[in-house]
Chain A
């Protein structure tokens, strides 16, 4: 879904400073792809850093792997908000 919105690109190239926060990455995405930015703000699309769900203040380093994750097949919502859901 996000891939299609970004013109079918599997990866995006964005300019953000080393040590920037996820919110800076989101701002850079928003500038080029406003629809994706909107979905991130609505938490329809989550941001992960190094394969863990990230927060706006998560720091991003040069070698980090950042990904945009549309809603999972199981209806993930926001995993971080499910405290107390554990068996």
Chain B
């Protein structure tokens, strides 16, 4: 059974300004299949230090349309290439304060190993191919960041 093939996929790939609830998103993934036995999550949050400088605010911009398209591709490839039952990706845009949520990946699988693998692959791939840009505000001014994780 490929539970993820059935509709309502839009909720599983989102680029949004507003914050998200981990509990709500975990339930969304969990409710996709009773075969899920392991769920791996990655949550990226805004930190106050970057390349040796203090950061007090981060702004994310994205290319509307292409960002969503790339995230959908990542989800589809993960569902195809890993033994998982569901994958959810949410990325926020706009101004984000220190400590706030930025990005969430949730992978649900029968067993933990594939959930971990898919989750790690998805966040790495997101950072490589998704047109999202990060502007950090530091005491020296604002800097567009090209990060190498």
A interface residues, tally (CB under 8 Å): 18
Q: Counting CB contacts under 8 A, is B5 at the interface?
A: no
Question: Which of A19-27, A28-36, A63-71 forms contacts with chain B?
Answer: A63-71
Considering only residues 21-56 of chain A, those with a C-beta below 8 Å from chain B are 48, 51
Main secondary structure of the interface of B (DSSP, over half): mixed
Bound CA span A43–B29, Å = 38
Q: Counting CB contacts under 8 A, is A87 at the interface?
A: yes
Are the C-beta atoms of A73 and B63 separated by less than 8 Å?
Answer: no
Q: Enumerate chain A residues within 8 angstroms of B82, measured Cβ to Cβ.
A: 87
Considering only residues 133-149 of chain B, those with a C-beta below 8 Å from chain A are 133-134, 144-149
Q: Enumerate chain A residues within 8 angstroms of B132, measured Cβ to Cβ.
A: 72-74
Bound CA span A1–B69, Å = 22
Q: Enumerate chain A residues within 8 angstroms of B45, measured Cβ to Cβ.
A: none
Interchain nearest-CB distance for A65 vs B (Å):
8
Q: Counting CB contacts under 8 A, is A17 at the interface?
A: no
Main secondary structure of the interface of A (DSSP, over half): loop
Interchain nearest-CB distance for B127 vs A (Å):
2
Are the C-beta atoms of A74 and B63 separated by less than 8 Å?
Answer: no
Are the C-beta atoms of A69 and B146 separated by less than 8 Å?
Answer: no
Bound CA span A70–B133, Å = 8
CB-based nearest A residue for B129: A79
Q: Enumerate chain A residues within 8 angstroms of B66, measured Cβ to Cβ.
A: 48, 51, 67
Interface set of B (CB-CB < 8 Å, partner A): 60, 63, 65-66, 69, 77, 81-82, 117, 121, 126-134, 144-149
